[in-house]
Structure 1
Amino acid sequence: MDIDKLRALVELARVGTMTEVGRVTGYGTSAVSQQLAALERQVGTPLLEADGRRVRLTRAGWRLAEHGRGILAAVTAAELDLAAGQAPQGPVRVAGFTSALRRLLVPALAGLRAAYPAVTVQLRDAEPDETEALLDDDRIDLGLVWDYTLVPRVWRHVHAPLGSVPMLLAVPPGTPVPDRIRTPADLEPLREVDWIGNSRGGGDDELAQRLCAIAGWTPRVRHRVDSLELLADLVTVGQGVSVLPADAPEATRVRTVPLDLVRTEQRAWSLVRAGTGGWPATRAVLGHLAGASGWRTGIPTG
């Protein structure tokens, strides 16, 4: 069975249209259609059926696509196994949230270059949803993502923990809250205060909602920003309350209050596609993340 044709079917099951399959695989829509027609002839059963002006998978098509995901992962794993004895080399495309890139990846680059000069890192700033989509499309090799202990996520790709950091409340000057949030009543002074959320994802909003739900009310989100510098500016001038990682430089600019009420941490994770965690260059990058940060780094093996 031709791997490229099988990959076209797997991608159609995932993205839903010939046009999107063409975008992901780099083939034109006509070429994708020809690949799928050839695969149907090869297996001897219809894999697609008309759905208005589009096509959808038949039951046989869905079954083959499910098998195909495992087959493609196994092929990738076999290729990586053959390459495992080679010195790390080639590009590693990394996407991650800004804090992870600054605290984990950038400090590791000099040591990585000295140890493995044939490895090149290509990085891009991306939030977790964007990073997972990039992995889906095979546009990156390694993702650095985050979630919260109070808002855990289910990752679609092979993941391993990189570390965690406590989250703090950032409050404007003069806000009448205690020095530590120990009980739901300690949050009461924030009931009528505006909150600051994230403009690129809903994780911060959901964290605020779950915190405030413990006290029995819903936060009022007024501003949405992505920059921690801007967030700190807004808190400083009394424009709202937010959450900040304890190790963020901006946490030193504002009044912060620890959250003893419930374990509230930001967790960092590494993500790779199934079957690619053993690629020597990817493992080299992950190993240097651990060395540069001092955090316990999990290296995916799937």
Structure 2
Amino acid sequence: MDLTRLHLLVELERLGTMTAVSEVTGMGTSAVSKHFAVLEREAGVPLLVPDGRRVRLTPAGHRLSEYAVDILARVAAARSEFAGEGEPVGRIDLVTFISAAPPIVLPALRRLRDDHPGIDVRLIEHEPDEALSLLQTGDADIGLVYEYSLVPRNFPDTLTLHRLGSEPLLLSQPSGPPASSRTLTRQRLRALASASWISNSRGSDEDQLVQRMCAAAGFAPRIRHRIDNLDVVEQVVASGRGVGVMPKLAAVTRRGVTHSPLGELGGSRRISLVSRTGGWAWRPMRMLAEYLHDVAREVLDDTEDTVPFSASLAPVPPS
């Protein structure tokens, strides 16, 4: 149904006569009458009946007028929202990897909820491969994903990437005389050639990272354990049963574990926001991105040159 005709119906309900509707809308009486004839055909029921020299609304006409008031109000609210006016409202499905949730996602969502309670963010936890699939199918609106600088990720052309920052990588190893919290050298890493290495069971990025890092030190790692939960990884390390790569944001002080910076040997983990191209035009999405960016600046490295989402949405070229 045409919004103009619904507006005319609401005005007839309010003013009572075709002449009055014509005066307030600037349309001729004949044009107003033709609009109502079309509206009746669209509705499939009589909306007006003659009442002397005037017309009055039928019960169906009164009911449609009630719907029209709500429809027109919602359209006005949507136009105002998309024009950047009024309070932003809407549901956003955010997919994120688990280690980004405590330091970045949850603080950002708390601040967003306090400032803009109308934005309803639903969380989905997935690693990058699954997250990118959800974004492409439309089952998620925006995602936090990571890639290792030593293992760049290929992002689909249908998605747009905005870099948030990066974090250094650490080696989790059992505490003891050989362990040190100083940045690892190739020689010290080579001393772990016979260690049992830990990787995850989802995707191949971490395997490639460990293999390239160890190859630079002159050996091939023995990946003995596949564990996705980083807290369990740390427990295995503390028990002396393995060593593994740990992103700085996920590393916690634990008895029996030493975290040694990998430096250039391990590179960094780069964290980005990803959405379908064109999705950033929606104001609630941009606002969520801005809050995530603000928190990321507090905990990540290399965030100075990240373009504020409110100022520009130019994408960062994928690696």
Q: TM-score, normalised by structure 1?
A: 0.68
- Determine if the alignment matches structure 1 residue 268 to structure 2 residue 271: yes
SS in structure 1 at match of 2:237:
helix
Contact 2:149 2:267 (C-alpha < 8 Å) held by counterparts: yes
SS in structure 1 at match of 2:263:
coil
Contact 1:181 1:261 (C-alpha < 8 Å) held by counterparts: no
After TM superposition, list the pairs within 5 Å mapping 1:89-100 onto structure 2. 89-100=89-100
RMSD between superposed Cα atoms in Å: 2.4
- In the alignment, what sits opposite 2:82? 83
- Determine if the alignment matches structure 1 residue 279 to structure 2 residue 282: yes
Q: 2:188 aligns with which of 186, 189, 200?
A: 186
Offset of 1:301 from its aligned partner? Answer: 4.8
- Determine if the alignment matches structure 1 residue 234 to structure 2 residue 236: yes
Deviations 1:114-158 (CA, angstroms, capped at 9, x unpaired):
222211001110100001000110111101000111111122220
Contact 1:84 1:279 (C-alpha < 8 Å) held by counterparts: no
- In the alignment, what sits opposite 1:116? 116
After TM superposition, list the pairs within 5 Å mapping 1:1-302 onto structure 2. 83-86=82-85, 87-156=87-156, 157-174=159-176, 176=178, 179-253=181-255, 254-262=257-265, 264-293=267-296, 294=298, 295=300, 296=303, 299=309, 300-301=313-314
- Structure 2 unaligned residues grouped into runs of 5+: 1-77
Change (3 A) 1:85 1:260: closer
CA distance in 2, matches of 1:226, 1:117: 34
SS in structure 2 at match of 1:271:
strand
Q: TM-score, normalised by structure 2?
A: 0.64
Q: Which amino acid aligns with 1:112?
A: L
CA distance in 1, matches of 2:114, 2:176: 50
Offset of 1:290 from its aligned partner? Answer: 2.5
Q: Which amino acid aligns with 2:271?
A: A
Contact 2:103 2:249 (C-alpha < 8 Å) held by counterparts: no
Offset of 1:92 from its aligned partner? Answer: 0.7
Identity, % of aligned pairs?
37
Change (3 A) 1:80 1:102: farther
SS in structure 2 at match of 1:290:
helix
Contact 2:88 2:283 (C-alpha < 8 Å) held by counterparts: yes
Contact 2:168 2:269 (C-alpha < 8 Å) held by counterparts: yes
CA distance in 2, matches of 1:218, 1:81: 60
CA distance in 1, matches of 2:221, 2:79: 48
Q: Which amino acid aligns with 1:257?
A: S
SS in structure 1 at match of 2:280:
coil
Contact 2:100 2:249 (C-alpha < 8 Å) held by counterparts: no
CA distance in 1, matches of 2:194, 2:89: 55
Deviations 1:185-232 (CA, angstroms, capped at 9, x unpaired):
222211111100012232221111010010222111011111111000
Change (3 A) 1:155 1:190: same
CA distance in 1, matches of 2:169, 2:81: 43
- Structure 1 unaligned residues grouped into runs of 5+: 1-78
Change (3 A) 1:190 1:84: farther
Change (3 A) 1:183 1:255: closer
CA distance in 2, matches of 1:105, 1:179: 28
Q: Which amino acid aligns with 1:83?
A: F
Offset of 1:179 from its aligned partner? Answer: 4.6
Deviations 1:57-93 (CA, angstroms, capped at 9, x unpaired):
xxxxxxxxxxxxxxxxxxxxxx999924344211011
Change (3 A) 1:221 1:80: farther
CA distance in 1, matches of 2:181, 2:295: 33
Q: Which has the larger radius of gyration?
A: 2
